[in-house]
Amino acid sequence: MPPSTLPASAYEALDLPSDTVDALMKTKLAAPKPASSASLDVLQAKLTPASDLHLNEPSIALYAELLLNIRTVTLFASLRTVHTRETKARLSADGASITVSHEGESATIRLPIKAKAGGDAPLFLPAHPPGKELTLRLQIEEQDGCGFLAAAQAEERNANVVPWDGASLDARKDVEVLCKNCQALLVPDGKVREWRDLPNENWAEMMDFWHCHKPDEHHLHGDAHKTAFANKGYAAGNQLKAVKGIGFVDLATLLLVEEDCQGVEPPPNSTPQPTPLHCNQCSHTVGTIDPSTHGLRLWKWSITIPSPSSLTPNPNIFSIEKWISARILFLIENLGIRKFYIHPDTTSPSPPPIPSLLLWVFTPDLLFSSSSSSSSSSSSMPSENRHDSTRAMKIFYQTRTFSAPKPGEPESASVEEVAFPKAVYYELEQTLQASQMLLPANARRFRGWDVGLLERFDRGEIK
């Protein structure tokens, strides 16, 4: 905008000589300096909300985390505006919950374990530096006779337990398998007379590694030696075959013959590759045809097995993310690594680059509580079914693009490549993204990694 001069009437009240007024009218006012790009950035920064809370999030978001190994509860509070002296945090009289009040609103969270409490008392909040994030460390208190922390460290709790193992199914003798999506009957009661647990998927290689001479056959030679340990199952080339009336069970699948299943129908012209298996009633994918075993593999995350207890007549339905966690924990136990390159399964020998995830299991076992009801995305378990405290793993992850390794290309010894069925992969991706809403705003990123949570099975929910 061009600079302007004042009119002569503006100087009448000053009673100045006419020549002085003429001189002042000829002098232009100094033009303001143009704003620099830096000043625009400062202005923009002032207008941009600093809080990472989304508009659909409440103005107070609470998250509490119990790290079992160090026995510490940490409370995080994310506020939409800077906290003041009027911001209060109060621990309940029984030490089971905390309420944070700020600018006329309040939010309450149930702690993963009771904190040390001396009555309904306020908690000290740091006055400086002022900010939108509050962090409190709480001293935990375990009631006499509870033994929770001791049990949390016990080997039994730390085991990677999953529902529907072979031993528990065989003990029931009244097993029905239903489609989780529509409750259609897939395996009738009585069809399978015996359920057997399959050993570790690498059992044959481990036996060949540890046994120089196979048990009870050191005296054999030649073909007799090969026949003996092949029949016993010690040979790496010995293949598992589905057997009528017997259900084989591993971490995530049930292996059955086609005659024992009535609610699924294999598609015609089956190929040597695993072919998806669909429920006859709702067409939901419930497993695959396994040509190598001449059987059908039903995915545990796509089925449900009703509980035998009359107190719980409804079928047990577990979220897919818990089965994913079980698989990841299995890989950690057997491979001794915590980073995994996960991508959708593909039958193409040379697939084009596809989306993938690099996962770093930062904390395999923790208990958390959150004031947010956001949860795993789509399907299996709505957020309202999350009962705090919740057992989970903390996952750091990055979005990558997967390309099949070229022949002769070296493989990383610290990162394991894992292929998931496409539906399971996309469930994992959506679950990690949705779980970020459970975390405080300043804890959703860490040095270039996104941070998420994956719920895991707890022994108490497995019947």
Domain boundaries, the chain: 1-48, 60-138, 166-198+240-304, 320-461
pLDDT tens-place string over residues 219-271 = 555 555 555 544 444 445 557 889 999 999 999 999 999 999 988 876 666 55
pLDDT tens-place string over residues 88-105 = 888 888 888 888 988 888
- CA torsion sign, 244 to 246 to 249 to 252? positive
The answer to whether residues 323 and 365 touch, using CB atoms and an 8 Å cutoff, is: no
Lowest mean pLDDT among 152-161, 236-245, 335-344: 152-161
pLDDT of residue 396: 97
Give, in words, the CATH class of 166-198+240-304.
mainly beta
User: Which pTM does this prediction carry?
Assistant: 0.76
Task: Name the band, by pLDDT with cuts 50, 70 and 90, for residue 127.
Answer: low
Please report, as a single letter, which amino acid is at residue 282. Answer: C
Mean of pLDDT over the chain:
76
* Nearest residue to 322 (alpha-carbon basis) of 200, 201, 462: 462
Please report, as a single letter, which amino acid is at residue 218. Answer: H
* Cα separation, 238 vs 294, whole angstroms: 14
* Cα separation, 272 vs 265, whole angstroms: 17
Exposure letters 214-239 (e unless 16+ CB within 10 A, then b): beebeeeeeeeeeebbeeeebbeeee
Q: Return the structure tokens found at 433.
A: 């993204």
